[in-house]
Amino acid sequence: MEKIAPIIPTTEKLETFIKAALQEDVGAGDHTSRACILPDSRSKARLFVKDPGVLAGVMFAEKVFQMVDPSAKLEVLIEDGRSISYGDVAFTVECNSRALLQAERLVLNCMQRMSGIATMSNRFKFEVEDLPVKILDTRKTTPLLRFLEKWAVKLGGCDNYRFGLYDWIMVKDNHIDACGGISAAIERVKNYQKENNLDLGVTIEVRNLVELYQVLEAGNVTRIMLDNFEITLLKEAVKIIGDQYETEASGGININNVRAYAQTGVNYISVGALTHSYNSLDLSLKVEK
């Protein structure tokens, strides 16, 4: 089976994203800094925490500062994935003053969002950490920011599902309805993988017990996604499946009911809220006078 993409993005991916983000913001030049600050001026700044939660994006910030000023020196005081409280200082950075101000907004925008996602993920993890279940993210991410958002999910203690349409096959209700049924969909997936020399994981979504029995009869899947099942019915479905296939619950799951879903014995719970319903954490980068 093909491996899921790495959690930490490659140097090339990070650099490409940072260059594009800086170009969007800086454009022809930071005229305010050019007007106010001498070219060779250097400054030191601290990243202050103004909300409690889980920190994410320190490694990203370090890469940004190194790109705008190769001589930048960053002292990490709180590492990625650690708990933070109001008033904490996550890191200090010393570099060219103009470069520091060019990097400031990009660092804060990304770290605030990543820390919000990590905090949300950590809350879900806490609810089920004594149970044998994994909480998964989904593809409900911000376009072009998926690699950062899924990175933050991992820093918060949850797990990544597929990174895109290319690394895992997920046969959902629309696929099933469009191709004429569950048996047909599974057979076509099986033939497609064989013809293209693929060995990808296969998840198939079922909406009721009738569809579940159709999947069990057809076989050739990795995981059965039980979509929008009531908890009582979910527990029954998990028992029917047993150890034949991996099981996943999805749909309508939130921080208030995730534990009840986990107690059904399901192997995985996918939660889109990890990357679309978080609250960004308030962080502030302040230059020392």
β-strand 223-227 against 246-250: which pairing, if any?
parallel
Whether 283 and 253 map to the same domain: the answer is: no
Do 70 and 114 share a domain, yes or no?
A: yes
If asked whether residues 15 and 112 sit together in one domain, one would say: yes
User: How far is 111 from 117, CA to CA, in rounded Å?
Assistant: 10
130 in a structural domain: no
CATH for 243: 3.20.20.70
Check whether residue 80 and residue 178 sit in a common domain.
Answer: no
Q: What is the DSSP letter of 266?
A: -
Q: pLDDT of the chain along its 289 residues, tens only? A: 444 555 788 899 999 999 999 999 999 999 999 999 999 999 999 999 999 999 999 999 999 999 999 999 999 999 999 999 999 999 999 999 999 999 999 999 999 999 999 999 999 999 999 999 999 999 999 999 999 999 999 999 999 999 999 999 999 999 999 999 999 999 999 999 999 999 999 999 999 999 999 999 999 999 999 999 999 999 999 999 999 999 999 999 999 999 999 999 999 999 999 999 999 999 999 999 8
Task: Count the neighbouring beta carbons within 10 Å of the beta carbon of residue 16.
Answer: 12
pLDDT score, position 8: 82
Judgement on whether residues 111 and 163 belong to the same structural domain of the protein: no
Domain-embedded: residue 69: yes
- Known catalytic residues are 105, 140, 172, 205, 227
Number of domains composing the chain:
2
**Both 163 and 261 in a single domain?**
yes
Judge if 178 and 234 occupy the same domain.
yes
Tell me: do 82 and 169 sit in the same domain: no
* Position 145 in a domain: no
CATH number at residue 97: 3.90.1170.20
The answer to whether residue 129 sits within a structural domain is no
Give me the domain span that covers residue 53.
11-118+279-287
Give the predicted TM-score (pTM) of the model: 0.94
**Does 112 reside within a domain?**
yes
Handedness of CA 17, 18, 19, 25 (dihedral sign): positive
- Mutual angle of helices 97-128 and 58-68, in 10-degree steps: 170
Tell me whether residue 84 is in a domain.
yes
The pLDDT assigned to 6 comes to 55
